[in-house]
Amino acid sequence: MPGPPPALADARVAVRRWLDGSGLERGALVLLGCSGGADSLALTGATGFVAPRAGYAVGAVVVDHGLQPGSAGVAREAADRCRSLLPDGSPVEVVRVSVSSSGAGPEADARTARYAALADAARGLGAAAVLLGHTRDDQAEQVLLGLARGSGARSLAGMSDRRPLGGGLLLGRPLLGLSRQRTSDACAALGLAPHRDPHNEDRRFARVRARGALARLEGDLGPGLAGNLARSADLLRDDADALDALADTAYLDLGEQPWGAPALAALPRAVRTRLWRRAALEQGSPGTDLTGEHLRAVDALVTDWHGQGPLHLPGGVRAVRTGEGVRLHREA
């Protein structure tokens, strides 16, 4: 008996591998975030087939951001498709969110609202994990954006295929090893015509511009660039994880602030900058506004100390050196 079409088989294998390595208990509910686009529909179709056979329950949540005319209808259609792809009785919900402006940009604000809605729905349904349909192309675009912004290793490491979402939930991305074309082919194999989000063609958004730039670069440099950027992210993630672990150890060893400048000077710079970022975030600096330039300025309180005054960081946080001690604190 012939097997499934190759693209659909690839998606199913990717989901099965993710579930096998997830550490989730058998019988746990796995919740899918579905937009109705090709990537999330391919994920839904693959997981709807694999999860019950692997001993897991499965459901889906469609988040309606309300940012486009007719978004409610698109969300309802996506939910109907999820019901057709998942086992009978699987929970499928549509959640309408309000996207607040934080100054971080519309993409970031929509993502924040979406992740919060997915986490809330997962907790309400008693799910153990939320799975998203990000692909290798999404990974490559994120790395390219990080390069354009001059980001550090953590940002260039891209997205992990699994990370904590808070409250005991696991966030998973089983399809990171597949191309966007592969998910489209999987949808075709399932007889699905995915929704095409107009925002994916809107050049006001940085990710859309990155997508176009990546296509042009592949035309100039040859095919395979997206895969190579994704592999670079995997390598950098290992390095970033190791440095984060060293910074965690140093944070515990240093104890309460102020931290001694000689002890800080003995640490590698990559560890110190992670300490500065962690301390600034803990005091209330917004991560979206805290730049590498800020962190380098704080580091100069250790490496190039000549009596400079307090540094003002985003969110009303100050970094100050007094004698041999460096301290980050929120302004009164």
Predicted local confidence at residue 206, as pLDDT? 83
280's CB contacts (< 8 A; 6+ apart) are 290, 294, 295, 298, 313, 315, 317, 319, 328
Topology classification of domain 6-221: Rossmann fold (3.40.50)
Where would I find the H helices in 202-321?
206-221, 225-254, 261-265, 269-283, 292-303
- Any binding-site annotation on 36? yes
Predicted local confidence at residue 250, as pLDDT? 97
- Any binding-site annotation on 239? no
**226-251, pLDDT tens digit by residue?**
999 999 999 999 999 999 999 999 99
- Any binding-site annotation on 37? yes
What is the b/e burial string over 132-151, where b = at least 16 CB atoms within 10 angstroms of the residue's CB?
Answer: bbbbbbbbbbbbbbbeeeeb
- Any binding-site annotation on 299? no
Predicted local confidence at residue 332, as pLDDT? 67
Q: Which structure tokens are listed for 50?
A: 């694999």
Tell me, what amino acid is at 198?
Answer: P
Cis status of the peptide bond prior to 87, with omega within 30 of 0: no
| SS3 state of residue 311 | strand
Which of the residues in the chain have pLDDT under 70? 1, 102-104, 288, 332
Would you list the domain boundaries of the chain?
A: 6-221, 255-330
- Any binding-site annotation on 232? no
Please state, in angstroms and as integers, the Cα–Cα distance from residue 325 to each residue in 257, 301, 307, 322, 328, following that order: 8, 9, 12, 5, 10
Beta strand 129-131 pairing with 92-96: unpaired
Topology classification of domain 255-330: 3.30.465
Contact between residue 247 and residue 269 where contact means Cβ atoms under 8 Å apart: no
Burial of 101 (0-12, 13-18, 19+ CB in 10 A): exposed
3-state SS of the chain: helix, strand, coil percent to 5?
Answer: 55, 15, 35
- Any binding-site annotation on 72? no
Please state, in angstroms and as integers, the Cα–Cα distance from residue 218 to each residue in 12, 70, 229, 275, following that order: 28, 35, 11, 37
**247-281, pLDDT tens digit by residue?**
999 999 999 999 999 999 999 999 999 999 999 99
